[in-house]
Amino acid sequence: MTSTAIFAGGCFWCMVEPFETQPGILNVVSGYTGGHVPNPTYEQVASHTTGHTEAVQITFDPEIISYRELVEIYWQQTDPTDAMGQFQDRGDSYRPVIYVNSEEQRQVALASRKALAESGRFDEPIVTTIEDAQPFYPAEEEHQQFYKKNPRRYQIEEADGRSQFKQTHWQ
């Protein structure tokens, strides 16, 4: 049996590798969710008019890796105090969201967010939202596995604040 998790945390290019490299992850797809336009294109989402966020849909084996573990990995990829984007990516299509597809996922995400808020790790409030999963639309093929297809561009994206933030707050 497999399960799915959907996370938005800025550019989806930077959200694939941290999950895909974990045992128990079967597939990670870059795509769009949470908006009001069916089957949006990258250009439409980038125009900030569709309501979608760039997100990753993760298919995993819960016998090997738990949803709770995925949520913990998620926190370490994002700035949970920035509601209007992530690092150099600005706007609502880059906002941090945990999309839940069950009451169990909701409870895990809420407890994890509360624990993070109470940890004192961040001076600012935790603003990552927890929302019901919406239809997920896979992004165009050129956006899938971006870190493998375009390693130099991926390194530039990561170096633009995300990797430094991760090092400062999670190492």
Which segments within the chain are labelled E, that is strand? 3-8, 25-33, 53-60, 85-86, 89-90, 97-100, 129-132, 136-138
Strand partners, 90: 85
Concerning whether 11 is annotated as a catalytic residue, the answer is: yes
Which one of 5, 6, 11, 100 is the catalytic residue?
11
Cα dist from 38 to 44, 130, 136, 156, whole Å = 11, 22, 9, 31
Indicate which residues carry an active-site annotation: 11
